[in-house]
Structure 1
Amino acid sequence: MLLALKDVSKSYTTSEGPIQVLRGVSLSLDAGENAALTGESGSGKSTLLHIVGGLDTADSGTVHLDGRDIAGMDDQQLAELRRGTVGLVFQQFNLIPSLDVAANLAFQARLAGRHDERWAAMLAERLGLSQLLKRYPEQLSGGQQQRVAIGRTLAARPKIILADEPTGNLDEATGDAVLDLMLGLQAETGAALLMVTHSARLAARFGRRFHLTGGKLA
């Protein structure tokens, strides 16, 4: 089992008092599996994803990732986890504007010490970026930028990919094409994929589906 959450709860303090976002959430995901995480706005989907990725901490419960309990990790260990084990894809592309496509694709893999020219070239070809390697992010369409973001994540060969509404800024046709590529490459690499989406249509394409409501899995 690559990912195991047990009884994870999370609340935030606001001016109007504490807000309980997650209430005892438990789920698991094996290597090679893909799952969609759905729920209404504010249901805790992004919070759950951030906890799995070590970007936020749970108030209670356990999160085991690749056999390790991430609750006991310090900031340096969490940063190493995100470099080497976890791949993150967000709705905002977060590309580095001063780097061209080739350098953006290689960025995460170089940080992880896993840069492989042949793997990067194959990803660029599969993602339709081979003719765009010398361009900069501002010269790309939204769909092209998201494909670069996905390629940057996969170039480091993460064990699990966490994607937060990665097609949310794209039109339907482009979003479908990007999801096709992501699911295909995820299956080929054997990584696990957990993707937040508000779309029941997109969620139906995943092997497993989790739905958050009232801070719990329905």
Structure 2
Amino acid sequence: MLLDVREVAKGYEAGAGRLQVFSDVSFRLDAGEAVALTGESGSGKSTLLHLCAGLDRPDEGQVRLAGQDLAPLDDRARAALRRESVGLVFQQFNLIPSLNVSANLSFQARLAGRADAAWLEQLAARLGLSPLMDRYPEQLSGGQQQRVAIGRALAGRPRLILADEPTGNLDAATGDAVMALLLGLVAETGAGLLMVTHSERLAARLERRLHLAGGGLA
């Protein structure tokens, strides 16, 4: 078992009082498993993804990643665990403006001590980035930046991939190619994939689905 979420609840203080996003959310994700996370806008999909990555803490419940309970870890320890085990693809690209495509792709893998030139070259080719390696983020389209962000997350061959609408800024053909790459990595390395998507077509390509609705998993 790679990811174990037990009876997790999360809410936020709002102007009119406390807004409860969800409660009593429990699920497990095994190594080598690809799972879609669906739900209406505002249902808490991104919030749940952040909790799984240790970017935020639940109000109640427990999140265990690779057997490690995230709750007692301080910020530095959680960052180290993410660096070693997690590939993150969020809606904001978060590329480093001062680095070119090649350096952005290899950034996280280098931090984790797992930079592999041959794998990076293969990733760049499969993502259609080979001709763009010397360009900087400001010289790229939104779709190109998204592909760089996806490649960066995959460069270190993470144990767990957490992806928030990873194909949202891509055309259908490129989005399908990226999905094939994500699912291929899961098959090749035994990584787990939890992917937020609004697309019924893409969700159907994954092994199973978790659906957030009404403050919990439906």
Amino acid at match of 1:102: S
The alpha carbon displacement at 1:128 in A equals 2.2
Residue 88 of structure 2 corresponds to residue 88 of structure 1: yes
Gaps of 5+ in 2: none
Q: Match of 2:114?
A: 114
- Further displaced range: 132-141 or 38-47: 132-141
CA deviation map 1:37-73 (0-9, x unaligned): 0001111111100000011110111111101101111
Matches within 5 A, 1:29-178: 29-178=29-178
The alpha carbon displacement at 1:187 in A equals 2.3
Q: Match of 2:187?
A: 187
**Aligned partners of 2:127 and 2:177 also within 8 Å:** no
**Aligned partners of 1:143 and 1:175 also within 8 Å:** no
- Alpha-carbon RMSD: 1.4
The alpha carbon displacement at 1:167 in A equals 1.8
Where 2:71 maps in the other structure, the secondary structure is helix
Where 1:177 maps in the other structure, the secondary structure is helix
Provide the C-alpha distance between the structure 1 equivalents of 2:191 and 2:144, rounded to a whole number of angstroms.
22
Residue 199 of structure 2 corresponds to residue 199 of structure 1: yes
Provide the C-alpha distance between the structure 1 equivalents of 2:90 and 2:83, rounded to a whole number of angstroms.
15
CA deviation map 1:148-178 (0-9, x unaligned): 1111111112110101112222333332332
Amino acid at match of 1:80: A
**Aligned partners of 2:146 and 2:169 also within 8 Å:** no
Provide the C-alpha distance between the structure 2 equivalents of 1:70 and 1:146, rounded to a whole number of angstroms.
28
Amino acid at match of 1:11: G
Provide the C-alpha distance between the structure 2 equivalents of 1:125 and 1:97, rounded to a whole number of angstroms.
22
Percent identity among equivalent residues? Answer: 69
Where 1:72 maps in the other structure, the secondary structure is coil
Count of residue correspondences: 218
TM-score of the aligned structures, taking structure 1 as reference length: 0.94
Provide the C-alpha distance between the structure 2 equivalents of 1:185 and 1:101, rounded to a whole number of angstroms.
21
- Further displaced range: 35-44 or 170-179: 170-179
Amino acid at match of 1:195: M
**Aligned partners of 1:143 and 1:178 also within 8 Å:** no
The structure 1 segments of at least 4 consecutive aligned residues displaced by more than 6 Å after TM superposition are: none
